[in-house]
Amino acid sequence: MTQSLSQLIEHSEIRHIAIEGVIGAGKTTLAKMLADKLPAKLVLEKFEENPFLGKFYEDQDHYAFQTQLFFLLSRYKQQQELIQADLFNRFLITDYIFEKDKIFAYLNLEDDELKLYETVLTAIEHKVPTPDLIVYIQCSVERLMTNIKKRGRDIERNMSEQYIRDLNEAYNYFFFRYKSAPLLIVNATQIDFVHNPSHFDDLISEIFRANKAPVEYYNPAISRK
């Protein structure tokens, strides 16, 4: 690792790093690997605790609002706990940001449901901590679908490619306009940070360099030319 990664980490002002990406992008895997490497306090989204999620993938029209409201309130509760965790750890790694809840809400809710959702959101969102850096893992739909099928979760067996395509477009739209925190957009279509240690090391270096500009882009395919 160049400029000694340990020096980059030691002198970085970054403390709270949030990893984001569409379902299947590898955000939780990267969050775990990064937390082990630093080491850091790791906080993962508890999606499996949502009792409506499986039903939502089977019947989106009937279960979208229940699913979304449960996620909103459970994410808010967990984010409040981050404030305490951040006081006692040099680094804090999460595999989501609270604002991403809006991506799913605007994609899945009807107009009347969205009005009620926004009423609840407005009352609580100002109390949520902001990460020092967000890493957005950007992938192709084909790569996302391959990853989803490969991990074989029962809850995702009815997930359609069209839903992932719509979600991918919504994520890109959201993050290409995001201004609330420094953002590193990683083109991960041709990167394998799980099985290739050099890819992982390069990505960590980019993460700890990416704290000066509001938005930075990392395309490994271009960077290695």
Full 3-state SS string of the chain: CCCCHHHHHHHCCCCEEEEEECCCCCHHHHHHHHHHHCCCEEECCCHHHCCCHHHHHHCHHHHHHHHHHHHHHHHHHHHHHHHHHHHCCCCEEECCCHHHHHHHHHHHCCHHHHHHHHHHHHHHHHHCCCCCEEEEEECCHHHHHHHHHHHCCHHHCCCCHHHHHHHHHHHHHHHCCCCCCCEEEEECCCCCCCCCHHHHHHHHHHHHHCCCCCEEEECHHHHCC
132 labelled catalytic? no
- Residues 175-198 as b/e (b if ≥16 CB within 10 A, e otherwise) read beebeeebbbbbbbeebebeeeee
Which of 36, 59, 86, 95 is flagged as catalytic? Answer: 95
* Ramachandran bin of 4, using left for φ above 0, alpha for ψ from -120 to 50, beta for the remaining angles: left
Smallest CA-to-CA distance from 14 within 218, 208, 163, 195 is with 208
Active site residue ranges = 95
